[in-house]
Amino acid sequence: MILYTVLPLELVLEGIDRERTFTNVEINGINVVVEQVSANEAVIVRIISTDPQHFLDPSLQPGSRVRLTPSLVAR
Amino acid sequence: MSDRCGTGCTLSISSPAPAKLGGEISPVPEKTPSPGTPGEVPDTPESAPASLKQLGEMRTPPAPQSNIHVMTIIGQIEGHIVLPPQNKSTKYEHVIPQLVAVEQNPAIEGLLVVLNTVGGDVEAGLAIAEMIESMSKPSVSLVLGGGHSIALPVAVSCKYRLIASTATVTVHPLRLSGLVIGVPQTYEYLEKMQDRVIKFVAEHTRISPEKFRELMFRTGELVRDVGTVLVGSDAVNLGLMDAVGGLSDALAALNRMIEERRAGRAEVADREAGRLQ
pLDDT of residue B110: 93
User: Pick from A2, A7, A6, A8: which is nearest to B122 by CA?
Assistant: A2
The answer to whether the Cβ–Cβ distance between B118 and A13 falls below 8 Å is no
- Which residue of A4, A14, A61 is in closest CB contact with B84? A14
- CA-nearest residue of chain B to A43? B85
pLDDT of residue A31: 92
A75: closest CA of chain B, how far (Å): 27
The answer to whether the Cβ–Cβ distance between A16 and B150 falls below 8 Å is no
Between residues A2 and B92, the one the model is more confident about: B92
ipTM over 0.85: no
- Which residue of B91, B148, B172 is in closest CB contact with A46? B91
B125: closest CA of chain A, how far (Å): 9
The neighbouring-strand residues paired with A31 are A26, A48
Sequence-distant (≥ 6) Cβ neighbours of residue A3 within 8 angstroms: A9, A12, B76, B79, B119, B120, B121, B122, B179
Sequence-distant (≥ 6) Cβ neighbours of residue B9 within 8 angstroms: B2
A2: closest CA of chain B, how far (Å): 5
- Which residue of B79, B86, B94 is in closest CB contact with A46? B94
Query: For this structure, is B149 an active site residue?
Result: yes
Convert the pLDDT of each residue in B173-185 to its tens digit.
886 544 444 555 5
Convert the pLDDT of each residue in A22-45 to its tens digit.
889 888 889 999 998 888 899 998
Q: What is the full DSSP assignment across A10-73?
A: HHHSTTTTS---EEEEEETTEEEEEEEEETTEEEEEEEE-S-GGGGG-GGGSTT-EEE------
Between vectors from CA B247 to CA A54 and to CA B147, what angle results, nearest 5°? Answer: 75
Residue B85 has a CB neighbour count (10 Å cut-off) of: 14
Cβ contacts of B193 on chain A, cutoff 8 Å: 2
Query: For this structure, is B139 an active site residue?
Result: no
Compute the count of residue pairs across chains A and B with CB atoms less than 8 Å apart: 102
- Which residue of B87, B122, B148 is in closest CB contact with A6? B148
Average pLDDT over residues B199-205: 92
Cβ contacts of B80 on chain A, cutoff 8 Å: 1
User: Pick from B115, B110, B118: which is nearest to B129 by CA?
Assistant: B115
Sign of the C-alpha dihedral, residues B189, B192, B198, B199? negative
Average pLDDT over residues A6-31: 85
The answer to whether the Cβ–Cβ distance between A16 and B84 falls below 8 Å is yes
Cβ contacts of B76 on chain A, cutoff 8 Å: 3, 5, 7, 12
This prediction has a pTM of 0.73
Q: Which domains does chain B have, with CATH numbers?
A: 2-52 (no CATH), 68-257 (3.90.226.10)
* Burial class (CB within 10 angstroms; exposed 0-12, middle 13-18, buried 19+) of B263: exposed
The neighbouring-strand residues paired with B90 are B77
- CA-nearest residue of chain B to A52? B101
Convert the pLDDT of each residue in B220-274 to its tens digit.
777 677 788 999 899 999 999 999 999 999 999 999 999 999 998 888 888 888 8
Which of B141, B149, B157, B204 is an active site residue? B149
Convert the pLDDT of each residue in B112-133 to its tens digit.
999 999 888 888 999 999 999 9
Test mutation, B93, B117, B189, chain A, max A CBs within 10 A: B93
Q: How confident is the model at residue B24 (pLDDT cuts 50, 70, 90)?
A: very low
pLDDT of residue B6: 42
